[in-house]
Structure 1
Amino acid sequence: MKRSMKVRLAAVLLGAGISMGAQAQQEVKIGVLYPLTGPGAAVGAELRSALELAADIINNGAPGVPELPLSAGKGLPNLKGAKIKLVFADHQANPQTGASEAERLITQEKVVALVGAYNSAVTATASQIAERAGVPFLNPESSSASLTQRNFKWFFRTTPHDDLFVHNAFEFLKELEAKKGIKPAVVASLNENGLWGTETTKLQTKLAPEYKLNIAKQVMYPAKTTQLTSEVQTLKAANPNLVLQSSYTADAILSIKTYKELGFLPDMILANNAGFTDTDFVKTLGKDADYVITREVWALDLASRNPLIKQVNDLFNSRYKINFTGNSSRTFTGLMVMADAINRAGSTEPEAIRQALVATDMPGNKLIMPWKGVKFDATGQNTLGQGILTQIIDGKYHTVWPFNLASREVVWPMPKWDQRK
């Protein structure tokens, strides 16, 4: 091979994220955007661990979980065993930083695809950069419904979105009344004021009348706040039986501490995932975290119905000494779906990867999620995802809804602060 031809070939392979040379390891570079410092650092660390486990399974194998796609451990077989290389970027939960980091990953790191970014507001800006550049962007966790309402060609989301999740919450309340005669007389909400919390508030406002519920008070706050005293005092004055809450980790923890300090506790807190499912929530609050009900997409007690859940969680726990959460399990799944698409594409060309994502049809028995599978509609939304509700009891998350999947009965109302052992 002439030197000029070698140079051209090396340039092509490098642009595709694949190294050349007998000693060089073939690589497929995937950019991953998450909050690794700042207020979301704790959850970001767990998401990073989930990504690293997924990449390790793809690159080096996991013979104990043969049902998991690409677990044979030979890299990506349709790319001659090329290994996944994760290129991490820290968006610090800042939408502008997320956009600039997405651009850096695409233009400087030459990644073939992007996965991220947990915070809906960051996913919105980062995916705009990917859309303009014509680079596939897969979002495993952000739930703002509007993200798949932008007519984007390059954006795909595996998680269900808030329209479904808020419906789930109200369906649960409807069935709770029908089956157990429990109906909250006064409902209030406490939501962060970013894209996710704002859209959730709008959905709650829209759906409450349809379910014959009145939200007497809606309180919003800045997600990076360091105090919630006035907001909790406003809630306490409304005297609700039920608080619907959407908070990230730091503010979820802060809210519970403030509730206790001010002697406020409704009959129930029905949370919208995020901070309430982060490992740090239970670790920091201990018994004070108990009895909260949160919407979820994953629960370890569902392993009795899907052995893959326990098999992969055991790998995660043995390495990091923690269990998956609804956040980290979705991130793991997102990277597995992206890697599967790149492998099926047999190419690192953006359009080939995009077409493979469009054609994705992964059955539920190949996932660690309690979903029917992964299949994207024309908007890039997975149509086969579904939500569950879990309740924290003795520091563990127990599935309580849908009732036919429940591992234990709902405890309602929550015991008051001075009644807890």
Structure 2
Amino acid sequence: MTRMIAAAALLATTALGGLTAGAARAEDEIRIGVIYPLTGAAASTGVELKAAAELAAAIVNKEIPAPAGLVAGVGMPHLKGAKIKLIFGDHQGNPQVGSTEAERLITSEKVSALAGAYFSNVTATASQVAERYGVPFLNGESSSATLTQRKFKWFFRTTPHDDLFVTNFFTFLEDMEKKTGDNLRGIGLFNENTLWGNETTKLQTKLAEERKFTIAEKIVYPAKTTQMTSEVQRLKAANPAVIMQSSYLGDAILSMKTYKELGFLPKMLLANDAGFNDSEFLKTMGKDGEDIISREVWALDQADRNPLIRQVNDLMRERSGVNFNGNSARAFTAIAVLADAIDRAGSTQPDAIRKALQETDIPAAGLIMPWKGVKFDANGQNELGQGIIVQVQNGQYVTVWPFDVATKPVVYPMPAWDGR
């Protein structure tokens, strides 16, 4: 009997040892699924987001030296130096494809967590899949406010959302009225019709009423449209002092070309980030893209306040040939925050990663973003995110608001087309 017990104990010990070794082998590689638009109309944006995510992974894996102070789970010390591997999915700008890619990454690629997906409507569907499977989903770039109002257990978002961004625009306009003495109360709303644009329109309409602004014209146009002549004619006829516009890259370029064709510009064009902040926008538009004002979450000119901004941007430029923009900087930050959480979890198990995300408390000094830090509220929303407003001046996006962190004064009003 004694020999039988000893044999059983030895067998159990061997089995446990095998399980431990198996777990260790599995965690030599930490698989993270990342979903972006890598083909289709927003492919150029997706390529930049992918490059930013890959830079974050390279820093985590110590393939390149990590800038001092960056919080990113560098070296994965709590997982014995395990490497993260990003497995990419291409949603093509299609919410259904996004959900299919999320399921593939979870069931076939066996990822421990998901990140993405830039388009708010795709993030909505892909994160529903993650919620169903009980897999953490960290969103870095989508700003639709309702994404963190769904009471999801597995969804987290680092970027601020449109409630903050839209509020900032109205505060900025009030500040500009005080500075210039002009009446900027007449506004035109010009937004695309996916989840992001529709929700932005609702927020703008609500705040315009609350802040005593008049909506001279409200247009919601079909996303991926191929012509905007009739819409711009309506805006020109209404002649608002300010246009607030939400467009992805193709639409942003098309609208600017149409504005020029019809000889129309408002005193200020306030862009809701996205296409207007894509690197391809200024490459395509050149001087015709000058003086556009956009909400933003990142700007290179904030590097004097935070040295990490320039240090990590230099790495991005060396690897990809372009500077960060607000989209790619947020993509980098999402992977860094997720890697930090996985390292602190000391595990690739979903529950452990979720708990670590809930406990995240990264200070401003550990980020490349001009935020107060990263700390998630009960709904998974980072409660320490902030926004800035930038303007295109001499081919660069420079910070113009809040005025106390501005590096350049606002060029106002926008010069007419014949004065450029």
Give your verdict on TM over 0.5.
yes
Deviation at 1:131, TM superposition (A): 0.4
Deviations 1:306-365 (A, max 9, x none): 011000001111111110000000000000000000000000000000000000000000
The superposition leaves residues 53-88 of structure 1 with CA deviations (integer Å, 9 ceiling, x where unpaired) of 00000102544611112475xx31111100010000
Counterpart of 1:69 in structure 2 is: 71
Q: Which amino acid aligns with 1:150?
A: R
Aligned-partner Cα distance in 1 for 2:177–2:29? 54
Equivalent residue for 1:9, pick from 5, 19, 27:
19
Residues 94 and 7 of structure 1: CA distance in aligned 2, closer, same or farther (over 3 Å):
farther
AA paired with 1:144?
Answer: S
What's 1:49 paired with? 51
**5 Å matches for 1:294-313?**
294-313=294-313
| 1:150-204 CA distance string (max 9 Å, x none) | 0000000000000000000001011111233233252101100000000000000
TM-score (norm. length: structure 2): 0.94
Q: Tell me, yes or no, if structure 1 residue 58 matches structure 2 residue 60.
A: yes
Equivalent in the alignment of 2:366: 366
Task: Give identity over the alignment, percent.
Answer: 64
Aligned pairs, how many?
410
**Aligned mates of 2:392, 2:64 — CA distance in 1:** 31
Counterpart of 1:320, as a letter, is S
Deviation at 1:12, TM superposition (A): 5.7
Q: Stretches of 4+ moved more than 4 A in 1?
A: 4-8
The runs of 5 or more residues in structure 1 that have no matched partner are none
Task: State the Cα distance separating 1:221 from its structure 2 match.
Answer: 0.9
Residue 265 (structure 1) shift? 1.0
Q: What one-letter code is carried by the residue in structure 2 that aligns with 1:9? A: L
Aligned match of 2:271: 271
AA at the equivalent of 2:19: L
Q: Given the alignment of the two structures, is residue 419 of structure 1 paired with residue 419 of structure 2, yes or no?
A: yes
Q: RMSD across aligned C-alpha pairs, in angstroms?
A: 1.9
**Could you say what secondary structure the match of 1:122 adopts?**
helix
Contact 2:38 2:92 (8 Å CA) reproduced: yes
The one-character-per-residue Cα deviations of 1:209-260 (angstroms, maximum 9, x if unpaired) are 2222111111011111111111111111111111100000110011101111
Code of the residue aligned with 1:390 in structure 2: it is V
Asked if the contact 1:367–1:373 (Cα under 8 Å) also holds between the matched residues in 2, the reply is yes
Superposition pairs of residues 70-219 of structure 1, within 5 angstroms = 70=72, 75-219=75-219
| Aligned partners of 2:49 and 2:327 also within 8 Å | yes
Bigger CA radius of gyration = 2
Q: Give, as a single letter, the amino acid of the residue that structure 2 aligns with 1:408.
A: K
CA distance in structure 2 between the partners assigned to 1:8 and 1:190 by the alignment: 61
Q: Tell me what 1:221 maps to.
A: 221
Q: SS state of the match for residue 156, structure 2?
A: strand
State the partner residue of 2:246: 246
8 Å contact kept, 1:64–1:311 = no
SS of alignment partner, residue 333 of structure 2: helix
* Cross-structure match for 1:347: 347
Mapped to 1, the partners of 2:417 and 2:201 lie a distance apart of 28
Paired residues of 2:73 and 2:341 also in contact (CA < 8 A): no
Amino acid of the structure 2 residue aligned with 1:415: P
* Cα distance change on mapping 1:298 and 1:366 into 2, 3 Å: same
- Tell me the distance in 2 between the aligned counterparts of 1:129 and 1:233: 42
Contact 1:341 1:360 in 2 (8 A): yes
Distance 2:240 2:106 in 1: 48
Partners of 1:293 and 1:147 in 2: CA distance:
26
Counterparts of 1:212 and 1:178, CA distance in 2? 15
**Aligned pairs for 1:276-291 within 5 A:** 276-291=276-291
Partner AA of 2:376 in structure 1: F
CA-to-aligned-CA distance 1:261-299 (integer Å, 9 cap, x gap): 111111110011011110001111000000000000000
- What is the DSSP-based 3-state SS (H/G/I as helix, E as strand, rest coil) of the residue aligned with 2:42? helix
Secondary structure at the counterpart of residue 39 of structure 1: coil
The corresponding residue for 1:401 is: 401
Cα separation, 1, equivalents of 2:22 and 2:96:
31
Contact 2:197 2:246 survives alignment (8 Å): yes
Q: Does 1:387 find its partner at 2:397?
A: no
